[in-house]
Structure 1
Amino acid sequence: MTPDDRALVDRFLDMMAAEAGAARNTLLAYRRDLEAGAEALGQVSTADVEALKGLGEAWRDLASSTVARRAAALRRFFGFLLDEGFREDDPSAALPRPVHQRPLPRILDTHEVEAMFREAEDRAASGAPTALRDLALLELLYGSGLRATELVSLPKASLRPEQPFLILKGKGGKERLVPISQRAHAAAAKWRETLAKDGPWLFPGGKAHLSRVRLFQIVRAMAAASGIAPARVSPHVLRHAFATHLLAGGADLRVLQALLGHADIATTQIYTHVDSARLVELVNARHPLADVPK
């Protein structure tokens, strides 16, 4: 990267930090992507339309998600240069726009989830604290669709008697209300009874709360004990199962969006592809011409 580019990138990142409140990791990611752009273009700040058209070929071997991310960083950088008077034009329309298809999530069917619950419940019947913990984790993952980070960092005080929901800070620091079933509440409350009175976390581990890595290990061990290949199961797979099975049961997509804490309903719509068999059946049964003879 040339000295002129570096100075402008520094000013751009200062703006991102001050005006957009970008986090340190976000700023580092922008810098890496702009450096990659400079490597391909020579001097990124003065690149013209023809130079940008060549990026598609230069980056043809990269994943479409990587190309899309780099192009987005360059697009925002060129917008900054135009707004601040460092350029009189914005060539970003020539940047590559790869088609990025969101992969379908791995899911478990209801019989597999039931097998995991049977195993967890049988172990919890012994009263062993770790078995009670594992059942509470499983109930909250599948029963409420919590993200792994949201689950392991739950404060002990977030679980209150007769309160059928949790209020938590999810992705991006946004608060959301998460309903919990009676059985999930009961399992979590039974586990909480085994904890020290002064600890702040519902799932303590080491010097803080349970780590995401440890949660991953616990979930895979439960899968293996239930006769399910551990490679097929993770906390996120159980979150997907929660969403898919709710949709199959007739849940509204907007309700599902709120439960999962998705900022954009387009993210939630992935589950309509997963449950395509049910949707085809719905069209055949409810379409106004379904019963019209051919």
Structure 2
Amino acid sequence: MTTIGNSDLSVFPLALGGNVFGWTADRDASFAILDAFVEGGGNFVDTADSYSAWAPGHSGGESETIIGEWLAARSRPEVVVATKVSQHPDFRGLSAANVRAAAEASLKRLGVDAIDLYYAHFDDEETPLDETVGAFGQLVSDGLVRHVAVSNYSAERIQEWLRIADETGVARPVAIQPHYNLVHRNDVEESIAPLAQRENLGLVPYFALAKGFLTGKYRSTDAAGHDSPRAEGAAVYATPQGLQIIDTLERIGDAHGASIAATALAWLRAQPTVVAPIASASRLEQVPALLEGGRLELTADEVAELTRVSTWTPEA
């Protein structure tokens, strides 16, 4: 187990992504995946109020609803649930009134008294940041949220959030959720990770498996033949360097009797301030690799080799 930043949240070092629940995994499949994750030692589930509003016939909140039904059916197991606000069709943006209304709607869907970790999903530059910071702080003061976090924010805006929180005496964020993996490193490593390290914030990276590319499933930039909704997004990484990363993951994983996916997650976990990468499973048989990714420990030389082979220098 590991602790998120300076919070009291003790979590398994791999978060189960809830973006698929009610989308590519129906209610029964979602329940089975959640059961297997918890039975395997997992206790950290990540979702958002907007999941899965993008799917035809959906309006948002489907993932939270399924997680809430599962929590109720399992007599509320000791699971840390993170959710987010700003993208639900009915609750867009981060005005104080919207943050409050969205949080109350999430609480109702999840069937819990308090949200363990509540993210500002995307920055809302149309709302004064001090208004947003105050709204999140009030949720903590009122006991509706245990801890605050930010997702998809620049380092500059995170630093400003921290300044406002400190000056007004409200709860500071304890976590940052950035897009970070072996084929998408530079933005985080150059600005977000140093800030997280300096301010004792935990990184909870999303797209930890690069939309499935880092499972080794996509060896061509041609997405044809793959039925995953993310196939096209994953296949773009199948460049010569991307395939070299996969080959290296496969060789290192084989030395541990581990999958490519688990090895990619283990590399991410080894990076400074990373507490728990997020990875989702649409099928029950995918869960063991995720759990393995939360336990596999690579050697320093293996981490260094993967870091070297995945280093990308922009053209001048």
Return the TM-score normalized by structure 2. 0.24
Q: Greater RCO between the two (CA within 8 Å, min separation 6)? A: 2
Compare the two structures and name the one with the higher helix fraction. 1
Computing the radius of gyration over CA atoms, which structure comes out larger, 1 or 2?
A: 1
Return the TM-score normalized by structure 1. 0.26
